[in-house]
Structure 1
Amino acid sequence: MKIIIILLLTIPICFALDSAHVAKVDAAFFVDGQPDIALEDLEPLHAFTYPWHNDRGTVSDIRMAWNDSMLYFYATLYDTFLVAGNPLETDPDSCNSTDLLELHFGPDPTNPAYFSVMEFNINLLTRSHLRKCKDTGKNDWYEPWDISGVQRAVVMYGTPDDNGDRDTAWHVEMAIPFRLLSGWQAVYHTEPIGWNPLVPPSLGSVWGFNVTRQNMNEWSDPQVDYSVWSFNGNFPYISGTDTSVHFHDHLNFGRLVFDACSGVEKKTALSGRGALSAHPNPFNPLVIFRCPNGRDQVEGILSVYNAQGRRVAELPFRNGQTVWKADGFSAGVYLARLTGAAGRRLECRIVLVR
């Protein structure tokens, strides 16, 4: 929630900094596009804002965690029309012609104008830099940033670039080794004097941080949805008059606070809340999931987890129902979880018999 303080005379409007508290977990991160249920239970970042153009219902659900060696990032990016372009494209500068996400990390809060930025599209085509901003927030210079050690995966739910169907979302999962954020590998520019990145972080460490998203609703969309997690009111080009899209502005960064262990890794995997209907149950091999209220036409993604908390299936949930065919799965107890675009969750236990 942003707090706006309005002062009299010529003093400008001030925006409170956004903060995200990232829980430490004891578990290792396994990146395959299918998050553990314990990590999915983490508190998401607050809703994005839309300082450029209008909000047309774009929803971004982002969750983060950390352990002693890595920062974990998982996002569900709801989207009824996926734009992927050429999946074989190799030119990094082409990554912003499709659906896109960008991460910004400023691990030295005493030098906020220096930060790392990772731009990647729905095909994981990536452009990454170490940057320095001017006092206005506009770019001063940037250097290549080698992120070959980052583990990444994308899963799409829908058919990209197809007007004949209605898509649901795309998932992004990644684990970023802290060692990749610990140095300043600039070739053509001098490392900032007094550069002291808090890497690896300790409990209570605070970084500058932001996430921005470009959501294209069709090819050559004249009004792309541009959204951002933290926006402090700064437009770096012509202050107050030019609202051109500019993602890489350290003056808009919020705070990433590295918190203590949350205990999520100690939760029982099958602690479902009920409320989702499954029939028949027990079942073999087909089960039909429905919303408990026939008038409640929730759309979203239904995930199925095994007793160890690993996601084993994901299904688009439309028109109030979906079907899971469990051929090839072992008998046992599973948890089904429906997550809607508004963040609402419905769950139930199901039993597969053989």
Structure 2
Amino acid sequence: MSIPALLAAQAHVNRNIAPDHQRFLACLPRDKGNEVIPEIPDFAEFTCSVLGWQKGDLVSGDALSDLQVTLPEYHETLRASFAVREVEPKDDKHPWLLLVQCLPSGTSLDEVQEQKDHRHWQATPHAKFERLLRETGVPIGLLFNGTHLRLTYAPRGESSGYLTFVVAELAKVAGRPIFAALHMLLCAERLFTMAEKQRLPAILADSRKYQNLVSTQLAQQVLAALYELLRGFQAADDQRKGELLRRVLAEDPNQVYSSLLTVLMRLVFILYAEDRGLLSSDSVYSNYYSVTGLFERLRADAGRYPDTMDQRYGAWAQLLTLFRLIFEGGRHGSLQLPARKGYLFDPERYSFLEGRAWKRERQPGEKADVPRVSDGVIFRVL
């Protein structure tokens, strides 16, 4: 769900949601101690009393005969429990707004269910529901099991997405903002009466457009960073008169691009981990190792010495040190980083990144001859 799409549709969370939340709690059963049991026993009653739907909005039975998908290879037929009609369908061939699949209470949405007949499709309820949405041409669906309500969007020919609301969280006072979001997306007004551009189908379609736009812009940024890093290594190779990349270019030139893409993936991983405090909050790490701290220093240097950034060096060496620190781990005073190991940060995969010949392992005590990739290159990459 894209925030720009929500804003364009003027979809705002109701801050005065308490009365609706009380109606929601009234739909839930109670135990002997009058405590709420976080389970919606009747989906139809929930939609009417909480979301404001009409009883006739949920269509079932023979009216859904055209919404069945037969899978002869699996001896199985996929069908919806309910369907909701469009208020003003654009054509008679597509009269449906969304499909609803109700599962037995507590059924996992994301685990394959045991079946006596192994000829049936061994897939999760969510995967089967997505298949139903794609095959019927109704991209919007609600998958429900009493304890979870999942809004699914699976347009044909595109990747799917979903948003899951957990009843146990919705039932809490602290969960009122989540309930308000659910109510905002699925209330009767959002589905049936608002202007077309403000209704749920338009929001989901616009969200996909915004996501595609972001993906395109991100791809362009990654490609620009890759080319910048490539130019930096070309310059470093020239300074060594072609000896840095001579062997790898002769044996497997694609490894140069693979190595630089790996560097970008490492940076994305580290930036994500630093942003969420998953690496270290120690001042030694923040001041001398972190990518975030390095970027701040490079930005300050670019402000003071804009004409000489491509004649300054040191940032690439810091990144190499950080990559090895994450791979091998390290400890100094209060700074403690466990060895992560793994394929992504393995320094022996691309030895020329550290200045060694292709496929040449680093020897104990060996002095590193780090490639002279300028600070300007690293700053532009970051």
TM range (shorter): under 0.3
- Higher RCO, Cα 8 Å, sep 6+: 1
Higher strand share: 1
Which structure has the bigger radius of gyration?
A: 2
Higher helix share: 2
Query: Normalising to structure 2: TM-score of the pair?
Result: 0.23
